[in-house]
């Protein structure tokens, strides 16, 4: 899925927001735990790892989100690419091009918020994993 939007902020500010929020919101492991009514809960079984990467140059910022599920083979080291965001100067602001899997809708929404600076919240992993 492809979407593109512009924000009224310089690309450097968008890059800073991507770096800060991507690490806080998307650098995570997903696990499950069984909690019986009586007795001790099971240990957490982690079955997926999400890894964001933000690369910046003077005039461009790229963000990749990879997800690696357990038992996957034949995929890149940190998992398949689920979302790519390219931010670059456009007029007085920044244009962001988003390429994402359909399921990554909330991550796309969160990136819009980070880029504009209007909503710095994190996407709920339960909505995209």
Partner 1 sequence: MKRERRLGATCACIATVLLLSACSGVKNYPEQKTQNLRIHTQVDSVSATRSTVAEFDVHLVDSHCETEYQGRVYLDQPLVETGIPTERMVYLDFIFASKTMLSSTVSGIRHGVLFTPRSGYEYDVKVSYDKGIYDVVLREMRDGTITRVIPRRSLDECRGSR
Binding footprint of partner 1 on the chain (CB under 8 A) = 24, 37-38, 105-106, 109-110, 113, 119-127
* Cβ proximity to partner 1, 117 vs 125, nearer residue: 125
Minimum Å gap between C-beta 127 and partner 1 is: 4
Minimum Å gap between C-beta 43 and partner 1 is: 16
Q: How many CB atoms lie within 10 A of CB 50?
A: 21
In 6-104, where does DSSP find H-type helix? Answer: 11-26
* Cβ proximity to partner 1, 11 vs 63, nearer residue: 63
Taking phi first (over 0 means left), then psi (-120 to 50 degrees means alpha), and beta for anything else, what does residue 44 get? beta
Minimum Å gap between C-beta 121 and partner 1 is: 3
* Cβ proximity to partner 1, 88 vs 122, nearer residue: 122
* Enclosing H/E stretch for 49: strand 45-57
Minimum Å gap between C-beta 59 and partner 1 is: 29
Whether the CA torsion 27, 32, 33, 36 is positive or negative: it is positive
In 61-120, where does DSSP find H-type helix? Answer: 105-116
């Amino acid at each position: 899925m492809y979407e593109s939007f512009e924000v009224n902020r310089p690309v450097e500010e968008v890059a800073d927001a991507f770096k800060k929020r991507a690490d806080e919101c998307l650098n995570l492991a997903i696990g499950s735990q069984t909690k019986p009514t009586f007795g001790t809960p099971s240990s957490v079984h982690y079955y997926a790892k999400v890894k964001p990467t933000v690369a910046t140059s003077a005039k461009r910022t790229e963000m990749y989100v990879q997800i690696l599920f357990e038992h996957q083979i034949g995929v890149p080291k940190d998992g398949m690419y689920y979302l790519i965001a390219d931010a670059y100067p456009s007029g007085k602001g920044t244009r962001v091009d988003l390429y994402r899997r359909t399921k990554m809708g909330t991550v796309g929404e969160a990136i819009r918020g980070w880029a504009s600076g209007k909503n710095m919240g994190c996407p709920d992993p339960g909505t995209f994993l």
